[in-house]
Amino acid sequence: MATEFPFFVNRQEELEIIQRAIAEVGKRQVVLAHGPGGIGKTRLLQKVREYYASASSLTMSGILDAYELELRVPIGWEYRVARQIDRYKAFADFGDEYRGWLDEESRGVSPETLARARERVREAFVQGFNRVAAQERVVLLLDTVEEIQKVGALWPHLLDLMTRLDNVVWIIASRRCDEVRAAVETRMGVQNMHWLGLKGFDQKAAGEYFDEYFKKPSVVSLD
C-alpha cells in the first residue's frame, strides 16, 4: 500500500495520525477531527475510506453522517452499522432482536416491555460487532457529529459504545469536537485519543490545491 495520498493537499500529517491509530490493532482508538464548516473534515473521511478500500484485514463503515435523521437515533445507527460491516453474518442475533423490537413497538406494548426489547437489541449489537472485531480491525467514520452532541440520546450512546466495542477506531468529524474532547479523553484515556484541529490552507497550500483540482497552474492569486 502506498504511503502517499495523491491529489490531497496539506493534510498528510493528519492522515499519518489516522494511519497510526488504525495500525494499533487490538486497541480502541478515537480520532477527533475538529474545524469549522468547509475546512475539509468530510473530505478527510472520504480520503481515509478511499485509501483503505482494498485493505483485506480491515472493515470500514461508510461515512455515518448525523445530518441524516435516521442516524440520530441509537437503534437506527446500530442498524446501519450492522448492515455495512457484517462480513461474517455476525449480526444474525441482532437482526432477530431488531425485528422483535419492531414487532413489539408496532403492537403497542408497555414502555417497560419495549425498553427490555431495546436493551436486548443493544446487547446483540455489541456482541455482533465484537465478533467482527475479533476477525478484523474495524474503522467507524462519523461526520457532522455536532448535530447530536447536545440533543437526543445518540451521543451518550456512542460514548458508552466507545468502551464496549473491541478493536475499533472511531474517526469523528465535528465543528464542535472541542466540546466533547474532555468526555472522550475520560472514557478512552488521553493516550488513545488523537486530536486533529484542522486549519485552513496557507497561500502555498491553497495554490497547490487549485493546481491539483484543475490539473493546470492556477490563474488566480489568493491573499
Supply the DSSP string of 86-102, one letter for each residue.
-SSSTTHHHHHHHHHHH
Instruction: For residue 156, give the C-alpha cell.
Output: 451518550
Write the pLDDT tens digit of every residue in 138-166. 999 999 999 999 999 999 999 999 999 99
Residue of higher predicted confidence among 26 and 211:
26
**Residue 38 vs residues 1, 24, 203, 216, 221: alpha-carbon distances, Å:** 29, 30, 17, 23, 20
Instruction: Return d(Cα 29, Cα 8) in angstroms, integer.
Output: 24
Query: 218 pLDDT exceeds 70?
Result: no
Query: 113 pLDDT exceeds 90?
Result: yes
Write the pLDDT tens digit of every residue in 32-54. 999 999 888 999 999 999 999 88
Least confident range of 24-28, 179-183, 195-199, 219-223: 219-223
* 47 and 15 Cβ atoms separated by less than 8 Å: yes
**Residue 88 vs residues 26, 130, 132, 154, 168: alpha-carbon distances, Å:** 19, 11, 7, 26, 17
pTM of the model: 0.86
* HSE-CB for 151 with a 13 A CA cutoff: 6
Main-chain phi, psi angles of 143, to 5 degrees: -125, 160
All structural domains of the chain with their residue ranges? 12-73+137-214
**Residue 92 vs residues 47, 117, 133: alpha-carbon distances, Å:** 31, 16, 15
**Residue 45 vs residues 51, 75, 88: alpha-carbon distances, Å:** 10, 23, 25
Instruction: Return d(Cα 21, Cα 32) in angstroms, integer.
Output: 11
Q: How far apart are the first and last CA of the chain?
A: 37
Instruction: Return d(Cα 17, Cα 12) in angstroms, integer.
Output: 9
Q: Which CATH architecture has domain 12-73+137-214?
A: 3-Layer(aba) Sandwich (3.40)
Q: Which residues lie across from 109 on neighbouring strands?
A: none
Residue 158, judged by CB atoms within 10 A of its CB (0-12, 13-18, 19+), counts as buried
